[in-house]
Amino acid sequence: MSPQTLTMLEALRAGMAHMLETDDSVVLMGEDVGRSGGIFRTSTGLAQRFGGNRVIDTPLDEKGIVAHAIGMALYGLRPIVEMQFSGFIHDAFEHIMFCAARYRWASGGQYSCPLVIRSPSFGGIKGGFWHSQSAEAYFFHHGGIKVLSPSTPEDAYRMMIAAVQDPDPVLLLEPVPLYRSMSAEFDTDGVPAEFGEARIVRPGADATLLAYGPIVHECERVADTLAASGGAEVEVIDLRSLMPYDVETILASVRKTGRVVIAHEAPVTMGFGAELAAVLQEKAFGYLRAPIDRVGAPDVPYHFSIGDEMYRPTASNIRAGITRVTEFAF
């Protein structure tokens, strides 16, 4: 198969199309996903190609959509559910975490719930309260669900396939600001991503910069700029899979650099960075040559009135974090 150049949005659509084509148990459902192709047009053409029984328009009811999808999954289907925006996922939280994520455990392994929840997430689109959230931390704490966050079109394609093939619920945090702003060439060969596998975006020996989602690219630009100016050589790691996450790749980098900055769009307080910092303190304390630095959002709701640049990590405050850890001396 020849490589194709796809945007992030087209890659997600290609992943869904592959699974709809190769597995008759796969269905896509959500508000406007059929005839209109979804609010971002991610599923454009799929209803026409696979029919209304497999690409299903639903009422405006996130809790009801997920509840129905769970029932369908328990009876042998593999639903893919779109939440439109990450801020709307909270209405379905009870069904996701207290039903879908617990069936395997509640049944002693007799039942599984193969369900994919697509959550268009993250800021940078001048969105309001419900349109730019990073809700990942809510889902880490309860267990029973995998959480993935692609930052490239190829990862989006392969993560979609892996998520649908998984026997348990998977939350896919899709980077809305990259939907149409990023494209890449790769083989649409149906090969799934591996869960729990991080990617070293660029190597470096002076500090480790951990990130995921759309902010990975800002981190890479900062690291490249620093290196070009003769500054620190920063190793940038895209975590990709957040639950489970790749502890070994992180530890190997930190043992080499001894200095760590964690950047994410979610608020710093009790965000995913807190978990990463705690694990590094536990498993790599003897290698650390500076306190771990976290760069993230303030503890306020995201809203366009604040300004994306005031909420999301910018090149300036990512660079400031790197400076703090590289210039620190005991």
Q: pLDDT digits over 80-105, tens only?
A: 999 988 889 999 999 999 999 999 99
User: Are 35 and 177 members of one domain?
Assistant: yes
pLDDT of 243 above 90: yes
Residue 302 pLDDT exceeds 90? no
Pair (227, 322) in one structural domain: yes
Catalytic residue among 68, 131, 217, 264: 131
Q: Are residues 307 and 282 in the same domain?
A: yes
The verdict on 156 and 220 lying in the same domain is no
Q: Are residues 177 and 91 in the same domain?
A: yes
For the whole prediction, is pTM greater than 0.85? yes
CB-count exposure of residue 300 (10 Å: 0-12, 13-18, 19+): exposed
CATH code, domain with 281: 3.40.50.920
User: Burial of 53 by CB count in 10 Å (0-12 exposed, 13-18 middle, 19+ buried)?
Assistant: exposed
According to the model, what pLDDT value does residue 65 have?
A: 97
Residue 56 domain-assigned (yes or no): yes
Mean pLDDT value across the chain:
95
The count of domains in the chain is 2
Q: Is position 45 within any domain?
A: yes
Question: Is residue 59 domain-resident?
Answer: yes
Judgement on whether residues 226 and 154 belong to the same structural domain of the protein: no
Confidence class of residue 295 from pLDDT cuts 50, 70 and 90?
very high
- Residue-level pLDDT at 116: 98
> Does a structural domain hold residue 160?
yes
Residue 330 has pLDDT above 90, yes or no: no
In the annotation, is 68 catalytic?
A: no
- Are 173 and 204 in the same domain? no
CA angle 301, 306, 310 (to 5 degrees): 95
Q: Which domain does 206 fall in, by range?
A: 199-327
Same domain for 36 and 13: yes
Residue that is last in its domain, among 134, 160, 187? 187
* Position 192 in a domain: no
Query: For position 85, which CATH number holds?
Result: 3.40.50.970
Q: What percent of the chain has pLDDT over 70?
A: 100
pLDDT of residue 124: 81
| pLDDT tens string 166-180 | 999 999 999 999 999
| 127 and 274 together in one domain | no
Residue with tokens 């964690």: 262
Please tell me the predicted confidence (pLDDT) of residue 121.
Answer: 92
Phi (first) and psi of residue 112, to 5 degrees: -130, 165
Judge whether 230 lies within some domain: yes
pLDDT in tens, 18-57: 999 999 999 999 999 999 999 999 999 999 999 999 999 9
Which tokens hold the place of 312?
Answer: 């999301």
Three-state DSSP class for residue 278: helix
Answer yes or no: is 216 within a domain.
yes
Q: What is the mean pLDDT of residues 251-268?
A: 97
- Domain stops at, among 162, 187, 212: 187
Cis-peptide, bond into residue 244, ω within 30° of zero: yes
The pLDDT-based confidence of 1 (bands split at 50, 70, 90) is low
- The whole-number average pLDDT for the span 198-221 is 98
Q: Are residues 157 and 135 in the same domain?
A: yes
Residue 195 is predicted with a pLDDT of 96
The answer to whether residue 76 scores a pLDDT higher than 80 is: yes
Within a domain: 172: yes
Q: Between 220 and 330, where is the model more confident?
A: 220
Locate tokens 């029932």: which residue? 71
Of 187, 212, 237, the residue that ends a domain is: 187
Range list of β-strands (E), the chain: 4-7, 26-30, 55-57, 78-82, 116-121, 146-148, 170-175, 183-186, 199-202, 207-211, 234-238, 241-243, 260-267, 293-297
Backbone angles phi, psi at 238, to 5 degrees: -90, 115
Q: Please state whether beta strands 199-202 and 170-175 pair in parallel, antiparallel, or not at all (unpaired).
A: unpaired
> Are 162 and 303 members of one domain?
no
103 and 210 part of one domain:
no
